[in-house]
């Protein structure tokens, strides 16, 4: 059911896209919106979501919209890398609740990783300090 089923227009990311919920944005154009995860698994954990599609997951993404969206995912990953200088970048995406998905609008996670710094578990990180998130967003935006 969570892998297949109707798109819920009231999912959190749909609300963020409509401007009904706030987000600490780092990038926006006609194809995608990128913003910081408020429960970051590492410093700079960023989410990239496609606009103008009702795709719950990667499997539902219209093929013609996938390429432009993935270009934005790479663009944001490069900016996060340039801004925060991690030793690695974990890019992740979950399809369906059994796979770990909790919000059913397609999104890629961009999670910077540093040597000898553990990443918090998916769904196990505490809420971020908003001042810290805004400072990180400014750094990432400056690297776009």
What are the catalytic residues?
A: 107
Residue 7: which residues within 8 A CB-CB, separation 6 or more? 54, 55, 56, 104, 105
102, HSE (Cβ side, Cα atoms, 13 Å): 7
The structure tokens 């990783």 sit at: 113
Query: To the nearest whole angstrom, how small is the minimum distance from the Cβ of residue 116 to ligand 5GP?
Result: 23
Choosing from 23, 34, 49, 73, the residue that interacts with ligand 5GP (CB under 6 A) is 23
Name the strands in the sheet holding 32-36, side by side, starting at the edge strand that comes first in the sequence.
Answer: 25-28, 32-36, 46-50, 108-113, 88-92
Choosing from 11, 31, 39, 143, the residue that interacts with ligand 5GP (CB under 6 A) is 39
Query: To the nearest whole angstrom, how small is the minimum distance from the Cβ of residue 46 to ligand 5GP?
Result: 9
> Residue 22: which region, alpha, beta or left (left: phi > 0; alpha: psi -120 to 50)?
beta
Query: To the nearest whole angstrom, how small is the minimum distance from the Cβ of residue 122 to ligand 5GP?
Result: 6
In terms of CB distance, is 39 or 90 closer to ligand 5GP? 39
| Three-state DSSP state, 133 | helix
Choosing from 3, 31, 38, 70, the residue that interacts with ligand 5GP (CB under 6 A) is 38
Binders in 79-138 for ligand 5GP, by CB under 6 A: 94, 100-103
Query: To the nearest whole angstrom, how small is the minimum distance from the Cβ of residue 103 to ligand 5GP?
Result: 4
In terms of CB distance, is 103 or 143 closer to ligand 5GP? 103
Q: What are phi and psi of 117, to 5 degrees?
A: -120, 115
Which residue ranges make up the site for ligand 5GP (CB under 6 A)?
12, 23, 35, 37-39, 94, 100-103
């Amino acid at each position: 059911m969570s892998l297949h089923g109707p798109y819920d227009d009231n999912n959190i990311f749909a609300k963020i896209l409509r401007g009904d919920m706030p987000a600490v944005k780092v990038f926006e154009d006609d194809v995608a919106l990128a913003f910081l995860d408020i429960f970051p698994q590492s410093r700079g954990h960023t989410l990239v979501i496609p606009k103008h599609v009702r795709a719950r997951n990667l499997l539902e993404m219209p093929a013609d919209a996938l390429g432009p969206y993935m270009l934005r995912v790479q663009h944001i990953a490069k900016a996060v890398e340039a801004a925060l200088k991690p030793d690695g970048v974990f890019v992740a995406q979950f399809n369906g609740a059994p796979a770990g998905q909790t919000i059913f609008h397609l999104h890629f996670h961009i999670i910077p990783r540093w040597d000898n710094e553990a990443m918090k578990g998916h769904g196990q990180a505490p809420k971020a300090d908003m001042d810290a998130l805004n400072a990180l967003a400014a750094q990432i935006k400056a690297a776009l």
